[in-house]
Structures are given as structure tokens and as C-alpha cells.
Amino acid sequence: MKTYVIAGGCFWCLDAVYRRLKGVTEIVSGYAGGTTANPTYEEVSTGETGHAEVVQITFDESIIPSDVILDLFFLIHDPTTLNRQGADVGTQYRSAMYYVDDAQKRTFEAAKERAQAHWDAPLTTELAQLDVFYPAEAYHQDYFNKNPGNGYCSIVIAPKIVKARAAYTKWFKEA
């Protein structure tokens, strides 16, 4: 099993997409990259803690390659906008990849290099050592599936799932 911690805007979006992939065994929405210990959603939302909204993805590389996990990451968010994804603005919505060792850092650097070929503007995706991962509150976990009638889910998240499924059909679980 491998575990990656990545940030690409609202964690609900990443959670919803990765939860649908074969070989992904666990998704935990949370916070990383900041200075406040045990931050709450309300604190992170101020942009003052330094944390990004992240997902911790655990997957079986014998089922789904790490390159698919990472290339999909660069497909479902805009890594060229600094501290924002659409209407979500602030450092908590930055594009980031948090590595745990030099090997993972090299893997992330290679993914970022591959992704740059698909974007006209320079990528703003931050690469940083993972210090601490804090799980988000329970109501943030699997948010899309638990709140299908929420407007944000239908307007912002659902199109990301459709886009990801179209590009990576073979890696998606049956609908």
C-alpha cells in the first residue's frame, strides 16, 4: 500500500473522485502544511493557519499505478492558479503535494513535470515535506456521497467526476 497527501482546492472534490477508483482503499479528508496544531475547519477557512485542505489517499499499487493517481490529480484541478480553485479562494485551496521521503518527492516531481506539458501557464503546485496530517471533522468525510443534493456537489464536484471517469474509465469502479 502507498499513501499520498495532496491538495487541489476543496477536499470534497478530490475525495469524491478518488473514492471511485479501483485499488483505492481509503480516503481521508484533512489538513496539512500549516502551523496550527489540531486545526478545525473554521480555523483553516480563515486562511490564517497555513493549512491546505488535503486528502490522504491510500491505494494498492498492484491494482492502480501511482502515475494514474497523480496524473488524475493534475486533471481534476487547475494547478496554474495560485491559492484558488474556481470560486474557492485562499491559501487553504492551494495546489500542493506533501511527500514523506525523497523517493516520494521524486515521484511527485516527475508527475508535476508530466503535467506541465498539458498546461500553457506554469504550475503553482507546491511540493513540501509532510510534517503532520490532521483528519478533518467527520462531516467532511465522503461529503459528496452523503450530500448528493448539495448545490456545490452538483455544480462543482459532479463535473469533476464525469471528467475523471471519461479520461480514466478503466480505473473506475462500476457505477
| Percent of residues in the chain assigned helix, strand, coil, to nearest 5 | 40, 25, 40
pLDDT 10s digits, 126-139: 999 999 999 999 99
Confidence (pLDDT) at 48: 95
Task: Report the 10 Å Cβ neighbour count for 41.
Answer: 15
Annotated catalytic residue within 5, 6, 10, 76: 10
Q: Which three cell numbers stand for residue 4?
A: 499520498
CA dihedral of 134, 138, 140, 145, whole degrees rounded to 10: 140
How far apart are the C-alpha atoms of 13 and 16, rounded to whole Å? Answer: 5
Looking at the DSSP bridge assignments, the partners of residue 127 are 97
pLDDT 10s digits, 35-83: 999 999 999 999 999 999 999 999 999 999 999 999 999 999 999 999 9
Cα–Cα distance list, 165 to 13, 27, 78, 85, 173 (Å): 14, 18, 17, 20, 9
Confidence (pLDDT) at 86: 86
Total number of domains constituting the chain: 1
- Residue 24 contacts residue 136 (beta carbons within 8 Å): no
What is the chain's mean pLDDT, rounded? 96
Confidence (pLDDT) at 174: 80
Q: What is the CA radius of gyration of the chain?
A: 15
121 pLDDT more than 80: yes
Task: Report the 10 Å Cβ neighbour count for 132.
Answer: 14
Q: What is the pTM of this model?
A: 0.96
Domain span including residue 138: 2-171
- Domain CATH for 58: 3.30.1060.10
89 pLDDT more than 80: yes
Confidence (pLDDT) at 32: 98
The verdict on whether 10 is a catalytic residue reads yes
